[in-house]
Amino acid sequence: MFNRRTLLGVSAATVAAASLLPGAKVYARGKAGSFPGDIEPRGTVGRVERLPRLDLESQQDFLTGLRGWVNKDLVKVCRDRTTRILEKNGLDPKADISLERALELLKDDPILGTRWRAWISLQQATWRQLLDEFHGNYDRYMSEMEAADKAGPGTLELNPGMKLPDYTRHEIHLQPGGYVGDPFAGHVYHYGTNNFFADRNNQDELHIEQARAIPPPPADGKVRRILDMGCSCGQMTVALKERFPDAEVWGIDVGGPMVRYAHMRAVDLGVDVNFAQRLAEDTKFPDGHFDIVTSFILHHEVSTEASKQIIREAHRVLRRGGVFYPIDFFTHGELSHPKRAFELAHWWWAHRWNHEVLYYDYANVDYLGEMSKAGFIVDQNGPPSRSDYKVNLMGVKPV
């Protein structure tokens, strides 16, 4: 059933995205007061609440623009410069090189240093400004979340006594407190990643597109239950419910504040999905429970052992004929770590300084092998998760 929220403030983008899907629904925020205690001081744009102050919105807008310039114009200069540095040292810029040699050649270059530094400083500014807002109005935002905890549709399960593996406690992407250590981690992650995605995902466009790409199980096409592993603030989980309106959809994440925010947002949107603070490698769901198990950029943020266990867990909770569809850096056909100088230095920098702590764990996992070992029929040429990709890795549990 459509409710009033589905009919109010729906952006053209979300309508267009979902209108391609027979039976799909589109959710968007309505007026403040979607649940008792809901606050939206500056209203909404489609399915996103406007940031609560004009100045904060403008500061984030500036950082989005600067990020775009750093990632495009400045990176182009850095790539050209890397080529010249390699040639000056008698090396072929198109040849593979070791990480050690790449760092030796590039680490002290002032222009590359400018790129590394600018990105780190703007990333820190992004988080800091958002955190200042939410912590500066602690009672207001905490009260809103507490009110949403008890509201529906959908359910929320929090497990404050859960033992967290150490790998889950890092400040990934420099987000202060990471996914588990700050009570407003979900708020900050949502707006911070809107900034990161350069305004291309403010209406969950990327998540909607990816949810749309996931194929139903090939054996019979039946989709009754879906699991979104490492759901963060729940954008993919909501998009999955839109894609499969009749399915029971679950989003799980290790971060209590993440699923809390995800639930609050889903309640506000009027979407009947379930969130739980659980580990992807130990979901607690019964064997054969789900028709589809998916994840978006989860695997590069978990340890090698956890990643292998997550693959096994996905196989366990899928029913026969069910689909495993992970989306991450190397699921689009390129299954290995880059080997040229600039990319090597970039990924080392991302690992070391943007705190992609588990990146090398991810890059070193043999996903095809692990998926096969777990029992999946592996397809490297599954349907692409986005229009700019050609394929995506997927596994099917044999019937």
Q: Which residues bind other proteins (CB under 8 A)?
A: 42-43, 45, 53-55, 58-59, 61-66, 68-69, 73-74, 77, 81, 108, 110-111, 113-114, 116-118, 120-122, 124-125, 129, 131-132, 135-136, 138-139, 142, 146, 158, 160, 164, 166, 169-171, 174, 176-178, 180-183, 185, 199, 256-257, 260, 277, 353, 355
Closer to other proteins by CB, 131 or 298: give it: 131
CB of 258 to other proteins, least distance (A): 9
Closer to other proteins by CB, 159 or 304: give it: 159
In single-letter form, the type of residue at position 246 comes to: D
In eight-state DSSP terms, residue 73 is I
C-alpha 127/C-alpha 188 separation (Å) is 7
Residue where the block lists tokens 């499969």 = 244
Contact 154, 271 (CB under 8 A): yes
CB of 148 to other proteins, least distance (A): 13
C-alpha 200/C-alpha 85 separation (Å) is 34
CB of 176 to other proteins, least distance (A): 8
Work out the angle between the directed axes of helices 75-88 and 99-106 (0-180°, nearest 10). 100
CB of 9 to other proteins, least distance (A): 11
CB of 20 to other proteins, least distance (A): 22
Q: How many CB atoms lie within 10 A of CB 243?
A: 27
Q: Element (H or E) spanning 326, and its range?
A: strand 318-327
Closest C-alpha among 347, 204, 173 to residue 269: 204
Contact 28, 46 (CB under 8 A): yes
Rg of the chain taking only CA atoms, in angstroms: 21
C-alpha 224/C-alpha 292 separation (Å) is 9
Closest C-alpha among 341, 20, 4 to residue 205: 20
Residue where the block lists tokens 């990020």 = 67
Closer to other proteins by CB, 256 or 382: give it: 256
Closer to other proteins by CB, 177 or 218: give it: 177
Q: What is the DSSP string of 119-134?
A: HHHHHHHHHHHHHHHH
Contact 105, 341 (CB under 8 A): yes
CB of 104 to other proteins, least distance (A): 16
Closer to other proteins by CB, 123 or 283: give it: 123
Q: How many CB atoms lie within 10 A of CB 230?
A: 24
CB of 186 to other proteins, least distance (A): 10
Closer to other proteins by CB, 64 or 304: give it: 64
Closer to other proteins by CB, 21 or 45: give it: 45
Closer to other proteins by CB, 3 or 304: give it: 304
State whether residue 199 is helix, strand or coil: coil
CB of 268 to other proteins, least distance (A): 19
Task: State how beta strands 290-296 and 225-229 pair.
Answer: parallel
CB of 73 to other proteins, least distance (A): 7
Closer to other proteins by CB, 52 or 383: give it: 52
